[in-house]
Amino acid sequence: MPHSVTDTTTPASHPTASDTSGRTDALHSVPTGLYIDGVWRESSDASTIAVENPATGRTLLDIASATPTDGAAALDAAVAAADDWARTSPRHRGEILRRAFDLLTERAEHFATLITLEMGKPLAQARGEVAYGAEFFRWYSEESVRIDGRWSTSPDGKSRLMTMRQPVGPTLMITPWNFPLAMGTRKIGPAIAAGCTMVIKPASQTPLTMLALADLMTEVGVPAGVLNVIPTRTSGAVMTPLITDPRLRKLTFTGSTPVGKDLIRQSAEQVLRVSMELGGNAPFLVFEDADIEAAVDGAMLAKMRNMGEACTAANRFLVHQSVADDFAALLAQKMTAERLGAGIDDGVTVGPLIDDKQRRKVAELVTDAVDRGADLTVGGERIDGPGYFYTPTVLTNVQPGSAVLREEIFGPVAPIATFTDDDDAIARANDTEYGLAAYAFTASTARTIKVAESLDFGMIGINQGIISNAAAPFGGMKHSGFGREGGPEGIAEYVETKYIGINPLDATVRNSHTDAR
Ligand code: NAP
């Protein structure tokens, strides 16, 4: 499919946005077709998706949009390749992943540029995403040779118990727009290590990075049919037939809780193996003994990475009354010092939000909090002009019942509420249907243990504002989902455990000296 790079001019009225830095050249090498069975093809009805730059509102590239017919072809390919791929050696798959890590690292600047252009985050953060995303390839290149089983004797001594772990089979992967690379590699790495084939549907707003990754995976030796990529602008129509197809063996989804619930319902049809990485509402607790400067540094990372568009983003700041003014003043100072603009430009630290709908939602949450009595300390403005910019915002004195404390904000807004009693703070932190990430800052070991044991969240950061790590199990509780990605735990999502009971036939069981005689 021919390329149509259309975003090459600087929008006239925007203060910082510019795509003229030569970086749009990165788009020229991005494949614009569907990747099915090792071949790039057009959509069966020639439909396309216009991929937009959220910093300018302009189209970056037109790419093919899969139809249900294309979806079926992708699953056909994944099913056809499954047996041969499952029989490849663990070392072979590990070496493919290692080459993918090396090549992705070598091409980090190219991938970071694509991420920034289609998603909006500042280039420095996009580089961080590439490094983080590549780590899943390195980690699982090492794990592929450690998929083990066990051998034991049954308690009554009459049988031998053997377990083995085999690839679960063809897997459907649906990923969101906020980390266009890493949300994919977190699934692809363990799936390849385990010997599964896959159909990947990236978010329609950010498919370019995944299309470029498909090219790279072919280059490092992933065979035809093992990895298929089908962006589509009709997600429901294309995904439902795949989810209900008896040949599909697993669905792994990262995205919002409402869509996740719908997909869980659909997956009941075939009793599909399911992993769900859903939304969050992370509390960020600052106790009276915390190092306030460190807490504010941690808050900036936990809140502002990805402009707040992260499932692990600190959503509610609960700060002890005695340190709340200092914390809020320093946080407001740091938020004011952030530089808003197109992520592709040097020195920019806060990019645009993904679209106007998201920006309107953020603005409504701020208005609701202020209407209920919160003080707008800094920010609270949407910037007119092309792109979807919203200023870094701090709200203090946020009242219970405000929507901003309950809903996932997904924007650069820090609402601060206070507490005077630890138990009350922990109870309020747990008062949410979500259970993904939580943060706490304290100098006390006793508080650390109490907080870690009492918070109902899958991941807890103590005195640190970033918790994601390829070596650690990422995942949530409650409405934040189930299953884990990363670490040794991550591979369990892509294998079936099979048990074989073996009767030794000639074994004699002796339970006492009397039996032995
Ligand atoms: P989303 O709207 O749920 O979309 C996620 C993916 O699902 C996209 O690829 C989307 O495709 C697809 N999709 C939407 N409707 C579908 C349907 N009916 N059938 C099949 N697929 C469908 O979420 P998002 O706005 O992209 O991402 C933000 C959300 O992801 C937030 O809630 C965030 O917390 C969550 N998230 C969670 C984690 C985690 O690990 N827990 C990590 C990152 C993000 P289209 O693009 O075509 O709509």
Task: Kindly indicate the confidence band of residue 24, based on its pLDDT and cuts at 50, 70 and 90.
Answer: confident
DSSP secondary structure letter of residue 27: G
**pLDDT of 382 strictly over 90:** yes
What are the two backbone dihedrals, phi and then psi, of residue 11, each rounded to the nearest 5 degrees? -60, 135
| Domain locations in the chain as residue ranges | 67-278+482-497, 282-462
| pLDDT given for residue 506 in this prediction | 77
Q: How far apart are CA 300 and CA 181, in angstroms?
A: 23
Q: Is any ligand 1 atom within 6 A of the Cβ of residue 183?
A: yes
Q: Is any ligand 1 atom within 6 A of the Cβ of residue 254?
A: yes
Q: Is any ligand 1 atom within 6 A of the Cβ of residue 135?
A: no
| pLDDT given for residue 5 in this prediction | 38
| pLDDT given for residue 3 in this prediction | 37
Provide mean pLDDT across the span 490-500: 98
Q: Is 34 helix (H, G, I), strand (E, B) or coil?
A: strand
Which atom of ligand 1 is the closest one to the Cα of 234?
Answer: 47
Computed over every residue of the chain, the mean pLDDT equals 94
Each residue's pLDDT tens digit, 137-166: 999 999 999 999 999 999 999 999 999 999
| pLDDT given for residue 513 in this prediction | 62
Task: Kindly indicate the confidence band of residue 2, based on its pLDDT and cuts at 50, 70 and 90.
Answer: very low
Q: Is any ligand 1 atom within 6 A of the Cβ of residue 277?
A: yes
Q: How far apart are CA 24 and CA 394, in angstroms?
A: 34
Kindly report the CATH number that applies to the domain delimited by 67-278+482-497.
Answer: 3.40.605.10
DSSP secondary structure letter of residue 305: G
Closest C-alpha to ligand 1, atom 26:
176
Kindly report the CATH number that applies to the domain delimited by 282-462.
Answer: 3.40.309.10
- 259 CA to centre of ligand 1 in angstroms: 7
| pLDDT given for residue 255 in this prediction | 98
Residues with catalytic roles: 277, 311
| pLDDT given for residue 13 in this prediction | 29
- 456 CA to centre of ligand 1 in angstroms: 23
Task: Kindly indicate the confidence band of residue 514, based on its pLDDT and cuts at 50, 70 and 90.
Answer: low
**Torsion of Cα atoms, 9 then 12 then 17 then 23, to 10°:** 10
Beta carbons within 8 Å of 14's beta carbon, 6+ residues apart: 56, 342, 385, 386, 387
Q: Whole-model pTM?
A: 0.95
